């Protein structure tokens, strides 16, 4: 993982928490958060990060904003396994392992020391996403299923 661009990441993270409706997350906006999603996940877990310019008092605020992004974007209903684990197609196995560990530490009730209530079944969704993405065969089946989807058609109005 490359070092984060704190100058774009931190203000964007705060703006997203304040006004999430301004961003089209299905189009992977805000872009700095998606491009540096590993750093967002690390912030959400509260792990120390090298080069983080924030004062200790801001640490809680940044963690809260990062957790908000994880909850509203990565864990939104209907999110695909790649989004759920913060991965792109063609990811490395080590990246899958790292992102899975971060997400399970955030969402599994046995690991989350903050007592934050994540949506029911969140840890199960994380486990299922890892199971699907860790198997090349299952991942290929999933990709085939996505490509075979037919676009929704609008019903035609019949005119007399």
Q: Give 92's Cβ-side CA count (13 Å radius).
A: 4
Contact (Cβ atoms closer than 8 angstroms) between residue 103 and residue 41: yes
> Distance between CA atoms of 104 and 1, rounded to whole angstroms?
19
Contact (Cβ atoms closer than 8 angstroms) between residue 5 and residue 32: yes
> Distance between CA atoms of 119 and 132, rounded to whole angstroms?
21
> Distance between CA atoms of 109 and 115, rounded to whole angstroms?
8
Take residue 75 and report the two structure tokens written for it: 């864990």
Same domain, 21 and 60: yes
pLDDT the model gives residue 78: 87
> Distance between CA atoms of 101 and 78, rounded to whole angstroms?
21
Question: Could you tell me the pLDDT band of residue 37, with boundaries at 50, 70 and 90?
Answer: very high
Question: Could you tell me the pLDDT band of residue 7, with boundaries at 50, 70 and 90?
Answer: confident
Same domain, 63 and 95: no
Same domain, 68 and 100: no
* Residue 31 belongs to a domain: yes
Helix orientation angle between 37-45 and 56-69, rounded to the nearest 10 degrees: 120
Same domain, 1 and 62: yes
Q: How many domains does the chain have?
A: 2
The CATH number assigned to the domain holding 142 equals 1.10.287.110
Last residue of a domain, one of 56, 74, 92: 74
Same domain, 15 and 69: yes
Residue 147: which residues within 8 A CB-CB, separation 6 or more? Answer: none
Please give the residue range of the domain that contains residue 118: 80-146
pLDDT by residue (tens digit) across 94-141?
A: 999 999 999 999 988 777 656 677 888 899 999 999 999 999 999 888
Same domain, 101 and 52: no
* Residue 153 belongs to a domain: no
pLDDT by residue (tens digit) across 59-95?
A: 788 889 999 999 999 999 989 999 999 999 889 999 9
HEC readout, 1-37 = CCCCCHHHHHHHHHHHHHCHHHCCHHHCCCHHHHHCH
> What pTM did the predictor assign?
0.83
* Residue 25 belongs to a domain: yes
pLDDT the model gives residue 8: 85
In residues, how long is the chain? 160
Residue whose token pair is 């840890």:
123
Last residue of a domain, one of 59, 74, 89: 74
Last residue of a domain, one of 40, 74, 108: 74
pLDDT the model gives residue 152: 41
Same domain, 69 and 88: no
């Amino acid at each position: 993982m490359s070092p984060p661009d704190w100058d774009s990441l931190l203000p964007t993270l705060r703006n997203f928490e304040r006004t999430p409706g301004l961003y089209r997350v299905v189009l992977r906006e805000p872009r700095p958060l998606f491009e540096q999603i590993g750093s967002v996940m690390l912030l959400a877990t509260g792990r120390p990060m090298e080069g983080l310019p924030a004062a200790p008092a801001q640490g809680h605020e940044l963690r809260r904003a990062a957790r908000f992004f994880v909850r509203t974007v990565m864990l939104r209903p209907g999110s695909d396994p790649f989004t759920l684990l913060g991965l792109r197609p063609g990811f490395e196995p080590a990246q899958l392992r790292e992102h899975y560990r971060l997400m399970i530490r955030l969402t599994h009730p046995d690991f989350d020391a903050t007592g934050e209530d994540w949506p029911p079944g969140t840890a199960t969704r994380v486990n299922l996403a890892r199971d699907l993405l860790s198997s090349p065969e299952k991942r290929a089946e999933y990709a085939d299923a996505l490509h075979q989807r037919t676009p929704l058609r609008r019903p035609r109005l019949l005119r007399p």
